[in-house]
Amino acid sequence: MVGSGEQDMSAESVTLSALPPELDRERLPQHVAVIMDGNGRWARGQGLPRTMGHQRGVDVLKDLVRQCGEWGIDALTVYAFSTENWSRPEDEVSFLMVLFERALRRELRNMVEAGVQLRFVGRLDVLPQRLQDEIALSVEQSRQNTGLKFTIATNYGGRQEIVDACRAIADRVKAGTLEPDDIDRELFARHLYTNHLSDPDLVIRTSGEMRISNFLLWQMAYAELYVTETPWPEFDREAFRVALYEYQSRKRRFGGLNSDSTRSRRP
Ligand code: IPE
Ligand code: IPE
Ligand code: MG
């Protein structure tokens, strides 16, 4: 049975595969976040409906999750659906909701066996009930794992997340369990949806747009940004290797004059 006894494949039993020689294991980003953009344009370029781009995008994501696990990256966070994406045509939105639900159902077992810890961030309570059920199940079944922290941003908006954190903090102040003077950056970050994660070290955006589209606004304060023209459905292992290589050539300074680390620091 998944997650029990000898067949439990926690991180300890997932063997790290060799990194391409030009990548330095010590300087890999701990947390990679990805804005998976360009599905629609890719499909149009192939003479296909946009939905086929989304479908193909799921396969690409499956590969990336496997690769992050094998290369020993600690956390992967992907932007699957923004709070603004509801403004798309109804049939595209409902296609995406069903696609997410089916992909989760189909891939859950493999991910659990590979030690992946699944989490979701965003306003999940307004998603279709069937998707919410699948999300709850996948989080529950992967809870004991110690491998890749794989977080999917669904109905996620960075501004909404900050507003929600403010509300939660205000509630505590109102209840008398917190003093306004106790509110600092650490405490604020603990009230964000991403309180289980360190800040992203590297944010990748596929398909060329130079914007962040309301993704991880607070968390990406000092992330390295990498934008590639490659559309998400073509973002393969080689494209990821190139992104990591570029990351390792950056000099992170965190506002100082030099830095000996490519790893993110808490503010
Ligand atoms: C990203 O691809 C997937 C989602 C936002 C759900 P797009 O659907 O935005 O594709 P383009 O940007 O229109 O090509
Ligand atoms: C960002 O892509 C959201 C996701 C990848 C889920 P969009 O396609 O929604 O971003 P814009 O509209 O080009 O800014
Ligand atoms: Mg887009």
CA distance 244 to 235: 13
Q: Is the Cα torsion angle 111, 117, 121, 123 positive or negative in sign?
A: positive
Q: 114-146 burial, b for 16+ CB within 10 Å, e for fewer?
A: bbbbbbbbbebeebeeebbebbeebeebbeebe
Predicted confidence at residue 258, as pLDDT, reads: 79
Confirm or reject: Cβ of 213 under 6 Å from ligand 1.
no
**Active site (annotated) includes residue 164:** no
CA 30–ligand 3 middle distance (angstroms) = 26
Six-digit token string for 177: 């369990």
Name residues whose C-beta falls within 8 Å of residue 265's C-beta, 6 or more positions apart in sequence: 222, 254
Please give the chain's pLDDT, 267 residues, in tens.
334 444 444 444 456 778 899 999 999 999 999 999 999 999 999 999 999 999 999 999 999 999 999 999 999 999 999 999 999 999 999 999 999 999 999 999 999 999 999 999 999 999 999 999 999 999 999 999 999 999 999 999 999 999 999 999 999 999 999 999 999 999 999 999 999 999 999 999 999 999 999 999 999 999 999 999 999 999 999 999 999 999 999 999 999 997 755 665 554
- In this predicted structure, what is the pLDDT of residue 266? 52
pTM, two decimal places = 0.93
- 28-249 — its CATH code? 3.40.1180.10
Q: What is the pLDDT of residues 75-112, one digit of tens each?
A: 999 999 999 999 999 999 999 999 999 999 999 999 99
pLDDT at res. 235: 98
Residue 24: count other Cβ atoms within 10 Å of its Cβ.
12
* pLDDT tens for each residue of 174-215: 999 999 999 999 999 999 999 999 999 999 999 999 999 999
What does the block give as tokens for 164?
């929600």
Site to probe by mutation for ligand 2, drawn from 64, 83, 85 as the one with most ligand atoms within 8 Å of Cβ, is: 85
Residue 201, classified by CB atoms within 10 Å of its CB into exposed (0-12), middle (13-18) or buried (19+), is buried
| The pLDDT of residue 260 | 54
Q: How far apart are CA 192 and CA 205, in angstroms?
A: 22
The pLDDT, as a whole number, for residue 2 is 38
* Predicted pLDDT at 17: 78
> Which ligand neighbours the alpha carbon of 81 most closely?
2
Q: Which pLDDT belongs to residue 1?
A: 37
Ligand 2, pocket residues at CB < 6 Å? 35-37, 79-82, 85, 209, 211, 213
Give me 43's structure tokens.
Answer: 């499909």
Which of 39, 74, 85, 125 is the catalytic position?
85
Q: Indicate the DSSP class of residue 16.
A: P
